[in-house]
Amino acid sequence: METAAELVPRAVMILLGLAVALYLIPALKQSRAWTAAKTAVRAAEKLARTGKLEKSEKKEWAERMLGALGLPRGPYTDMLIEAAVELLDESVPKEEDK
């Protein structure tokens, strides 16, 4: 039979592993998805600005790029893309602000 002194380190390791699995890994995946969405949106905007992509195709292109990275199309990717567009719009000065 194991003593408490032998069980405590094992229990701590199990709890740490559980915490990583439940909180850290999903947070890292969300961070990766958000970074990918911002990059895809910026790239689509740049391609449209240079004439290599039709403006009406920007969202479709960003969705395809996220899909290529393993993020399936759906409400989650739509939300990420729209949020990235909003962030990009906020960072670019508007004509009336100049």
pLDDT along the chain (98 residues), means of 10: 79 80 71 92 95 95 94 90 90 64
CA distance linking residue 80 with residue 33, whole number of Å: 8
55, 33 in Cβ contact below 8 A? Answer: no
Predicted model pTM: 0.69
User: Does residue 98 form part of some domain?
Assistant: no
Q: Which amino acid is at 13?
A: M
State the chain's maximal CA–CA distance in angstroms: 76
SS3 63: helix
pLDDT confidence of residue 15: 82
* pLDDT value at residue 66: 95
Chain centroid to Cα 32, Å, comes to 4
Domain carrying residue 46? 4-91
Number of domains making up the chain = 1
In a domain, 18, yes or no: yes
Examine residue 13 and state whether it is found in any structural domain, yes or no: yes
97 inside domain: no
- Residue 21 domain-assigned? yes
pLDDT of residue 13: 84
pLDDT for the residue 1 = 64
Looking at the domain assignment, is residue 56 inside a domain? yes
**Residue 48 pLDDT:** 95
**Has residue 96 been placed in a domain?**
no
